[in-house]
């Protein structure tokens, strides 16, 4: 059993929960339950589902007001870059969520890409828990304070740009080859599957990407391929 003092997290974030079980559930990963069934806890996936919807609405509303001259496509690209796994896991790390995660012994040892997914999911689960406990305005403020500061970096570094499209343009211009993507393998159980996709220029495997969906994995592969090629 992992002992976590969630009152410290409440103090750090400034949100004191009326229903403490909701807060604990937001940090409970499915893997933890397998080793601690006697605690009678629930994992955070339902809260993540709810928080994802709240996050999308708050972010969409914010971008719609902030950029009145941008097209639907541009706003969608901005939103995707702001609520993707990398940005959400950074935001979760900034508020020290990693220190409070309830994980299996195996998951607790893995601090790589898998931990990013876990933290991004927990960030959404916390939003869902906050929404249920204190309402929309509290969830909105938490998102504004802890996620929207990343928007400047997204815009400055053009993280919103579709990596697949840009890589294809560069590949055709510099190599006269159209990239193709292949699913190399799938890992994890059905409820938490990850796809490993490779991007090829002809027979050359340029880079691999991992994601919750094949589309996300392809984007990640394209981003890595751009760096690999120096494009």
49 falls within a domain:
yes
Task: For residues 100 and 169, state if they share a domain.
Answer: no
Q: What is the CATH number of the domain that holds 173?
A: 3.30.160.20
Task: For residues 183 and 224, state if they share a domain.
Answer: yes
Task: For residues 146 and 69, state if they share a domain.
Answer: yes
- CA dist 23 → 2, 19, 85, 116 (Å): 15, 7, 21, 20
pLDDT of 155 reads 84
Average the pLDDT over 178-201 and give the result: 93
| Closest CA relative to residue 66, chosen from 55, 54, 75, 57 | 75
Average the pLDDT over 161-171 and give the result: 84
Task: For residues 197 and 102, state if they share a domain.
Answer: no
Task: For residues 141 and 195, state if they share a domain.
Answer: no
pLDDT of 46 reads 97
Least confident of 12-26, 63-77, 157-171: 157-171
pLDDT higher at 80 or 121: 121
Average the pLDDT over 25-37 and give the result: 92
1 falls within a domain:
no
Q: Annotated catalytic, 52?
A: yes
Domain boundary (97, 121, 156) is at: 156
Task: For residues 41 and 138, state if they share a domain.
Answer: yes
pLDDT of 96 reads 95
Residue 95: give the domain boundaries: 6-156
pLDDT higher at 10 or 212: 10
β-pair partners for 201: 204
User: What is the count of structural domains for the chain?
Assistant: 2
End-to-end CA distance of the chain: 48
pLDDT of 147 reads 97
Catalytic residue from among 121, 124, 218, 223: 124
pLDDT of 1 reads 47
Catalytic residue from among 52, 107, 133, 218: 52
Task: For residues 45 and 89, state if they share a domain.
Answer: yes
pLDDT of 86 reads 84
Write the burial class of residue 230 (CB in 10 Å: 0-12 exposed, 13-18 middle, 19+ buried): exposed
**Tens digits of residue pLDDT in 95-131:** 999 999 999 988 888 777 778 889 999 999 999 999 9
Task: For residues 43 and 139, state if they share a domain.
Answer: yes
Output the six-digit token pair for 150: 């990343």
pLDDT of 212 reads 85
Domain boundary (127, 156, 185) is at: 156
β-pair partners for 208: 198
Q: What is the CATH number of the domain that holds 44?
A: 1.10.1520.10
Q: Annotated catalytic, 124?
A: yes
Average the pLDDT over 64-78 and give the result: 92
Domain boundary (131, 156, 181) is at: 156
19 falls within a domain:
yes
pLDDT of 53 strictly over 80: yes
């Amino acid at each position: 059993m992992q002992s976590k003092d969630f009152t410290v997290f409440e103090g750090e974030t400034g949100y004191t929960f009326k229903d403490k079980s909701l807060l604990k559930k937001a940090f409970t990963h499915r893997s933890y339950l397998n080793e601690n069934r006697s605690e009678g806890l629930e994992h955070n996936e339902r809260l993540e589902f709810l928080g994802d919807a709240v996050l999308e609405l708050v972010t969409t509303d914010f971008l719609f007001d902030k950029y009145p001259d941008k097209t639907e496509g541009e706003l969608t690209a901005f939103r995707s870059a702001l609520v993707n796994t990398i940005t959400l896991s950074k935001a979760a790390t900034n508020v020290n969520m990693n220190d409070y995660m309830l994980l299996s012994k195996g998951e607790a040892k893995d601090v790589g890409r898998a931990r990013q997914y876990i933290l991004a999911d927990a960030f959404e689960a916390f939003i869902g828990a906050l929404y249920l406990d204190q309402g929309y305005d509290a969830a909105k403020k938490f998102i504004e304070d802890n996620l929207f500061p990343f928007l400047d970096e997204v815009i400055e570094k053009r993280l919103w740009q579709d990596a697949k499209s840009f890589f294809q343009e560069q590949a055709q211009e510099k190599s006269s080859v159209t990239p193709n993507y292949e699913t190399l393998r799938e890992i994890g159980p059905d409820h938490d599957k990850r796809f490993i996709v490779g991007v090829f220029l002809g027979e050359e495997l340029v880079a691999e990407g991992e994601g919750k969906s094949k589309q996300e994995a392809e984007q990640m592969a394209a981003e890595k391929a751009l760096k690999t090629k120096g494009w």
